[in-house]
Amino acid sequence: MSITAGPLLSQIHYPADLRRLNRDQLIPLCDELRQFIIDHVSLYGGHFGASLGVVELTVALHYVFNTPYDLIVWDVGHQAYGHKILTGRRERFHTNRKYKGIAGFPSRFESEYDAFGVGHSSTSISAALGMAVAARLKGEKGRHVIAVIGDGAMTAGLAFEGLNNAGVSGTDLLIILNDNCMSIDPNVGALKEYLTDITMSHTWNRTRDELWRLLGKVGGEALQKQFSKFEAAIKGAISRSSNLFEALNLRYFGPLDGHNVDHLVSVLEDLKHIHGPKLLHVVTVKGKGFGPAEKNQTKWHAPGTFDKITGEIFKKPVNGPQPPRYQDVFGHTIVELAEKNEKIVGITPAMPSGSSLNIMMERMPHRAFDVGIAEQHAVTFSAGLATQGLIPYCNIYSTFLQRAYDQVIHDVALQRLHVVFCLDRGGLVGEDGATHQGAFDLAYMRIIPNMIVTAPMNEQELRNLMYTAQLDHIRQPFSIRYPRGEGVMPQWRTPFEEIPIGTARLLVEGEDLCIISIGHPGNFAAEAICRLNELELYPAHVDLRFLKPLDEDLLHRICRKFRYIVTVEDGVIMGGMGSAILEFAADHGYTITVRRLGIPDRFIEHGSPKELHRECGFDADAIAATVCELLRVHPKQKFQIKTF
């Protein structure tokens, strides 16, 4: 379905077109851009509220600055839909987050206007500072660098590291804090309270900024410097709200109404002529301009398709009982376990609804903690809890745990602390693309000493692994990874059973070849085996469950019996489960052929999980085709219904 841009927006193919508009045309342009985003996301899905909240800021930035020569770094990337539309991608925007279409986040491979690839939060200040220093070293005078940080990203340690360095750099850098009190869920922590205090008591800042501009017109930079000295002497007594950023030697401006595009343009024009590192505090409303999104910002972060008139979010029709999402199995199961074991606590870095830890937070608010976008802190906080005999379930998306890898090794595993890592979104997550694929955790967790590494094939195994992980005799780190999306068991609330550590399941005895799977892709293998049975091929099937420690007794039996093994995993094949099987065979002198299926040695872009499983070659068709190839069977000749 074709979506028509408004009369102003339809004239803008690149920011140079935008800069030809008159100032009085910017307000209607913002209205058209906001409506274009609403029209597209309602039909095609995607992130929603964050980009609506920065429409005016996006227009003002591209109107004032000479992009792409001037560099804008967006943090986090789902703020950047308006930016993409204004920078040559309007006519392709319907392909946003679709297979082979444009990415949902800024990408240096996609456009010269995307100065830095962003998906994980809190990188903008450090990256922009690097760009600004490079411009200074290269003598590129007049080149502006802007970091736009928002949606809770300022709470991460990396953002503070960047601020700390920027303040002493003496480099021309503009940091724009898009303050909407939200990430996906409401922001938490002392910084959020501090920023709220600034927005409630900003008389001094407004007066000071007006005086700064007046002095510049009257007496130029010399008079402004004298004012700065005077201001430094009195600001501690008068302006509590400037201390945090200015203590880091950043000139603070704001807070400003982030939806007043005309005022934003005026302020940004002034800031172009102020040297050194500076921070502009802009207050916005996530979901601005769409009533339901303003009222329920978490729900409308990425709502899927919806009726733009009524606000009804469309859901796929349901026929009969449906399997739950793995994250919801986690959320309900941790509450069940915590009711029986008072040592259990839950931790998440800013993803309570995404991980379903919000279920525990509602039932047991004193035992469930959202620590903000701070993965390193989440892990070491969990370690501290574990030293005192508690059992933390640290729930982090697989891709985000990478940001805390040192803490996993040094603060948890080295000290053999009983922390349970529940890695949501393990494997290919789909439309969020390369920055969010949980491709690496099986490989990076299995090499850590003292770490137990597991992945359930279904909801029942997830429950039982979570139950096993909290038993008293474990006393070491325990990792459970599971995918995004639905499982396979509508009747999933089964009684808890302990799973002996390091035991696999032989699901099918088999004759011709053995398929070893780990985690949810075991269901793909089961489907492939049904198809192969129609070809009179009867592979064995092992659900490995534990990548570390391995079930060596069962693996010895498999390696003695079968000449061919096919391994299937939703993770990188380099260093993953298939590598572990090859290592086992080599260490014990088995001369067998192992064919590894999984994520190849490249970053996988966006698309639906089914499309990506097919692309990477480990869906049911690919598994069956691999078995046929190894056994030298030609399925098209013997089996006409299915082709592989």
Active-site choice (84, 90, 403, 548): 403
The SS3 assignment for 584 reads helix
Say how many C-beta atoms besides its own lie within 10 A of residue 534's C-beta. Answer: 12
Sign of the four-CA dihedral 4, 150, 356, 374: positive
Query: Is 403 annotated in the active site?
Result: yes
Give the Å distances, CA to CA, from 388 to 343, 385, 592.
Answer: 10, 6, 47
Q: In three state form, how does the secondary structure of 111-148 look? A: CCCCCCCCCCCCCHHHHHHHHHHHHHHCCCCCCCEEEE
Query: Is 375 annotated in the active site?
Result: yes
d(CA 340, CA 115): 51
d(CA 335, CA 97): 34
Active-site choice (56, 231, 246, 375): 375
The total number of residues written for the chain in this structure? 644
Active-site choice (98, 208, 278, 286): 286
293, 58 in Cβ contact below 8 A? no
What dihedral angle (degrees, nearest 10) is formed by the CA atoms of 405, 408, 413, 414?
70
Residues 6+ apart with CB under 8 A from 72: 61, 62, 65, 83, 113, 115, 146, 148
119, 431 in Cβ contact below 8 A? no
Say how many C-beta atoms besides its own lie within 10 A of residue 366's C-beta. Answer: 7
- Which residues pair with residue 74 across a beta bridge? 148
Query: Is 308 annotated in the active site?
Result: no
166, 133 in Cβ contact below 8 A? no
- Which residues pair with residue 597 across a beta bridge? 568
Task: Give the active site residues.
Answer: 286, 375, 403
